[in-house]
Structure 1
Amino acid sequence: MRKWILVLTAMCLSITMAGCSNMAEQSSQENGQGVPEEDRTDETFTLRVSYWAQDKNGYLDAVDKKFKEKYPNATIEWDKLDEKNFAEATDSELTSGQAADILFTQKIKEYAKAGYLLDLSDQQWTQRMIDSAKQTVSYKGKTYGGALDVSTFGAYYNKTIFDSLQLQPPGTWDEFIALCARIKEAGISPILGGFKDTWTIQGAYLPIAATSEFLDNPDFEWDVYAGKAKIDGPEVNDALRKFQELAQGGFFNPDAMQIGYDESTQQFIDGKGAMQLMGSWTPGVVDSKTSGFNMGFFAIPDENGKTVMAAAPDKQVSINAKTLYAVEAKYLVSLLLDKEMLAIYSKNVALSAFKDVIAEYGNPAMKEVQRALQLHPTSINPGHLFTQSANAAISEALNRILSGKELTNELKEADENYIKDKASLIMD
């Protein structure tokens, strides 16, 4: 499970990049980070920042310039790690006591548990993050970092097809099913899947499961850990029932189990299907293959028109507990997470993990995704706090559904596997 979560998250980097933004010249006065002359210091020091983020818009330069307005004699050493092994490199440096002052990571809970990170709970920016980001960067009630960006899931649709059939995004689950039926009647596949690449099944399942699991109980997966809820309960069963309704309705393309992600995306571009249920990298992938594709986005609602969006943080920033410059490092992190700086970082690249960041996107669908993230509650990816063995049983259920087979005891097996392996989890 964790493997496909990381795969899905990493693919967000596929979003088409844009040129540098002139926003680097904008002031951060409105965020309380303008620097009066009396607050400047001539102290000489160096902060090392280990990161792997691709910076296409001048984000790091803008942060560096703003930081030196307060610390003109300081040096920021931007240490770019290899994207393929940054986690291993950071692990090694932390273990040996040689880690950077500021760390970009995806393992804040693990590092916080080990005592490697500085508690940042008192920082003002912590209140600006979306819910799922707060959960990801917290451990035992304390905040140890901030998330720059998130990936999320939902329905991307061909606006040309929708317009030709006089369709509108649905307001409820029943309207979604009716919409799929109308598209199928027109001889078009409602939803395109490339399930030969099995990770793509999660792209279709997660936007359904997030609402089923977390709408009524945002603590559902924590309650499973505490023994107050079961995987084989109404939440996950509701998600599987809805996924089954799509499959049994014939709403996926007939060759969904025989083709992979690339082929299904090409069919989407070619107008052979009306929708993809997939992650937020979709507009960038489509833009990299064609121009002029008219795409929209909507979050998948439940029977009452409610939605919870699964939004998994990708790049996270934290501070080494052993830094010699805690005050200065906190200020630098506040700049890295400043809304104007994050608007530079996010432009045509990423969806922000902060509610107040308004980024520019060339693809209108990305704007719709960002608005949806700001409108709806967000959650961790369903299954993120389940064991790998429990998620394997859920994946087996999804594969049986897609193959037209009846479910047996997959969720009962998921509970049994979870209890057996739950000691492997790191929880708040």
Structure 2
Amino acid sequence: MKKALTSVTVISACMVLMSGCGSTSGTSSSSTPSSSTPAASTAAAKKITLTMMVSGTKNASGEDFVLDTLPKLVHQKFPNITLETQKLPDDQYNTSVKTKLAAGEGPDIFLEFPKIGTMGAIDMAKAGYAADLSDLTFWNNIGKSAKDDMSYEGKPYAVAQGMDILGTYYNKDLFQKAGITSLPKDWDAFLADCQKLKDAGVTPIVMGDKDSWWIQFGLYQIAANTVYPDDKAFDTKLQAGQESLTSPKWVKAISMYKELYEKGYIVKNSLGIGSAQANQMFNDGKAAMVLDGTWDYSALTTKGAVDFQRGFFPLPANETGKPQWMAAATASGYGINAKSANLAAAKEIFNYWFDGKSDLFQAWVKSGNSISSYSGVPLNQELFKDAVTQYQSGNAIYFSNQMWPAGVAEQLQAKFSEIIGGKSTTPEEVAKSMQEKFKQTWKN
């Protein structure tokens, strides 16, 4: 599963949606990676401690890059620097970091997300929380779209981990047990396969909806096929007041997602199942599919109670006879606190980390689940090979929440949870609540 991909590298994979991940007109005067720093070296400086907070959970097995590898390799390179790292669940992370930043007590290094969504790089820059990173030395090796999605007024404020694709991890053995011999190519075929699995006594899909952000993982894939194919500028129009989240296109997407729950294709009591438990159920062979992103590769390829062969495909939410679209976007990235007392040291770490050759860079690439946007780094997850090939067709759109102000995605999750929980909430009511939240937050 981890064989090198012979004909597809990240630089070629990103040429369609992200307009190329090769050399860009970065701020560095040299295209050669360097571990030099824009400030004086900290090698002979006094001992300092830097803090770092990101969202996520510790690796189920083996060494965790952020919690274990990163602090160790930073200290090896810079003996005077101690890096203290912490991972928090998404909702807790967003609340905690924003509160700390507003109080002037934020971590030195933190995770930002693309564009304007929750903890989005643009909002972090506007608020003065994120430092301008344009003086770092490696930008010529970062893909243009990956850099642009983390930029405000032409200046980058975070280093993206790469590109992520939302899709469906599936158990090939359970598909075979249910008599499914080929992957579904449209929504009707997908529903039919879910029914085959259910008839064979197999839970078709497991979702960890107790961690409410999981609710987005299926819906954005459906929206990619209902909202955007005929109008890629939908969100730009939404921001201008020319479109609404109450659009029939969004109501259709929500209705389609609701159908999976109504027909029992998603595990019962998903609101009582967290992300870690959902991953374990999939790895133990207790469900045939899970809707998730490439960032959870490690968690969903961990050995479970049974051995089975895994696959991955974008959710085919397209109508029969119409092209399939997928949700793919710049991944989250690392930023530096603009008010850090150790800003120069943090930038020095970044220059070493992303220099394209250091031990830390190599460890980061090896640990990464996202599809790298760093020039020359090949795709090393065989599981995603077909999805990347499909991505190259051009029928791809970013995750919807990347163009929404903070609060809209959370409103979607809260309101759709009512549907999952059995309340009589309608798709129209979900869409209406999203639009009301959008108007409120966009105005502010």
Q: TM-score range by the shorter chain?
A: 0.5 to 0.7
Deviation at 1:232, TM superposition (A): 0.8
CA contact (8 A) 1:347 1:359 kept: no
Aligned residue runs from structure 1 range 321-400, under 5 A: 333-339=350-356, 342-354=361-373, 356=375, 357-358=377-378, 360=380, 365=383, 377=396, 379-382=398-401, 385-386=404-405, 388=407, 391-392=410-411, 395-397=414-416, 399-400=418-419
1:79 maps to: 83
CA gap of 1:200–1:51, structure 2 versus 1, over 3 A, is: closer
Deviation at 1:121, TM superposition (A): 8.8
Partners of 2:298 and 2:310 in 1: CA distance: 8
CA gap of 1:277–1:78, structure 2 versus 1, over 3 A, is: same
CA gap of 1:128–1:215, structure 2 versus 1, over 3 A, is: farther
2:220 maps to: 206
Pairing 1:143–2:143 present: no
1:162 maps to: 175
Out of 387, 405, 415, which is 2:435 matched to?
Answer: 415
Identity, % of aligned positions = 21
CA gap of 1:94–1:413, structure 2 versus 1, over 3 A, is: closer
CA contact (8 A) 1:155 1:298 kept: yes
2:234 maps to: 220
1:125 maps to: 139
RMSD: 4.7
SS state at 2:401 partner = coil
Amino acid at match of 1:403: G
Pairing 1:317–2:330 present: no
Residues 67-90 of structure 1: per-residue CA shift (max 9 Å, x gap): x8xxxxx87735324445998689
SS state at 2:221 partner = helix
2:291 maps to: 277
Partners of 1:40 and 1:204 in 2: CA distance: 42
TM-score, normalised by the number of residues in structure 1 = 0.67
Deviation at 1:411, TM superposition (A): 2.0
User: 5+ unaligned residues in a row in structure 2: which ranges?
Assistant: 1-29, 55-63, 113-118
Partners of 2:127 and 2:72 in 1: CA distance: 32
SS state at 1:287 partner = coil
CA gap of 1:354–1:335, structure 2 versus 1, over 3 A, is: farther
Partners of 2:342 and 2:166 in 1: CA distance: 40
CA gap of 1:51–1:228, structure 2 versus 1, over 3 A, is: same
SS state at 1:416 partner = helix
Aligned residue runs from structure 1 range 223-234, under 5 A: 223-234=237-248
Amino acid at match of 1:307: W
CA contact (8 A) 2:37 2:136 kept: no
Amino acid at match of 1:298: F
Deviation at 1:61, TM superposition (A): 7.1
Residues 185-243 of structure 1: per-residue CA shift (max 9 Å, x gap): 43433223454554443333233234444444445334322212111114422321321
Amino acid at match of 1:139: Y
Aligned residue runs from structure 1 range 170-181, under 5 A: 170-181=184-195
Deviation at 1:402, TM superposition (A): 6.8
Partners of 2:397 and 2:244 in 1: CA distance: 21
Partners of 1:408 and 1:380 in 2: CA distance: 21
Aligned residue runs from structure 1 range 189-268, under 5 A: 189-195=203-209, 198-253=212-267, 255-257=268-270, 259-261=272-274, 264-268=278-282
Deviation at 1:162, TM superposition (A): 2.4
Out of 196, 202, 222, which is 1:182 matched to?
Answer: 196
User: 5+ unaligned residues in a row in structure 1: which ranges?
Assistant: 1-29, 69-73
Pairing 1:298–2:317 present: no
Pairing 1:55–2:65 present: yes
2:302 maps to: 287
